[in-house]
Structure 1
Amino acid sequence: MDNHKTYCPAINLRGLTAIILSMACLLPSMTLAADNDYPTAARVDYVIGCMAANGQDYLTMQQCSCSIDVIAEQLSYDDYEAVATVMGMQEQRGEMGVLFRTERSMQDDVEHFRSVQADADLRCF
């Protein structure tokens, strides 16, 4: 005769429901953060470039940090990276540079980035 009883803790349905609802509320913000989560190196690179153009002091560093945060809210990292590539390639001489300077869809992307950057400047500077 086997008198072993298996242990099965009682499930507190109210507690479980509260946990599930809490997690559900967090999912949209976690997804948004993941969609627009720029790598630290990209954020630092932007801030260094921004400070080179606007000044090398603590206030400018705060404003430039704010600026990349605003850009990250409005533009996915993939789009940001694509625009940065286009802008870098526009400086190239020859046929390759001409392509990046004249292709309409690339120009539209750069214009959109510049409008997002202008919004960031208004909010942060």
Structure 2
Amino acid sequence: MTSPCRALLVLACCVLAVAPAVSPAQNAAQGHDYPTQGRVEYVLGCMDDNGHDFANVYKCSCAIDHIAAALPYDDFVEQSTFAKYATLGGEGGAEFRVDRARAQSKKFLTLQSEAYKVCGVSKTAAAAAPANK
């Protein structure tokens, strides 16, 4: 990640850390409460997949906000884990290929696709092309 993007992400995390607490009624209107670390990890992963340009900080943040509005954090962790490891081969990946895992993975990928569409996240040429190093 480039230094300006990293600095911006650190600044955003600091702002989130010192933001005033919201009442339960306000929190319900904003969606489910996700830990800052979970949001940051999602944004970084989203940027890894879609490009480390400045606009993707906002687009990927929008995507996790959209997901958080629809899905409790524990469900997010479960569904995103199943989606991440759905293609894991061998005996170790068998747990991620059962019907329940496939259903959870599909739910998450559908929600994430919707969030990407709403927030304008799209694969960039740099993120889609393999690195020639």
Task: Report if TM-score (shorter chain) is over 0.5.
Answer: yes
For 2:30 and 2:118, the matched residues in 1 are separated by 23
Residue correspondence of structure 1 range 16-35 to structure 2 within 5 A: 27-30=24-27, 32=28
User: What is the Cα-based RMSD across aligned positions, in Å?
Assistant: 2.2
For 1:85 and 1:58, the matched residues in 2 are separated by 27
CA apart distance, 1:27: 4.6
TM-score normalised by the chain length of structure 2: 0.64
The residue aligned with 2:56 is 60
TM-score normalised by the chain length of structure 1: 0.68
Percent of aligned positions with the same letter in both sequences? 37
Runs (4 or more) in structure 1 with deviation over 4 Å come to none
Point out where structure 1 has 5 or more consecutive residues left out of the alignment: 1-25
Q: Secondary structure at the match of 2:33?
A: coil
For 1:87 and 1:100, the matched residues in 2 are separated by 8
Task: Read off the aligned partner of 2:77 and give its amino acid letter.
Answer: E
CA apart distance, 1:104: 1.1
Point out where structure 2 has 5 or more consecutive residues left out of the alignment: 1-22, 121-133
Q: Deviations over 1:61-116 (max 9, x none)?
A: 11000000000001110001112332344354432312311x11221111111111
The residue aligned with 1:122 is 117
For 1:86 and 1:106, the matched residues in 2 are separated by 6
For 1:67 and 1:118, the matched residues in 2 are separated by 9
* Conserved? CA contact 2:86–2:105, under 8 Å: no
1 or 2, which has the higher helix percentage?
A: 1
Task: Note closer, same or farther for the CA distance 1:95–1:83 as it changes in structure 2 (3 Å cut).
Answer: same
Q: Does 1:100 align with 2:105?
A: no
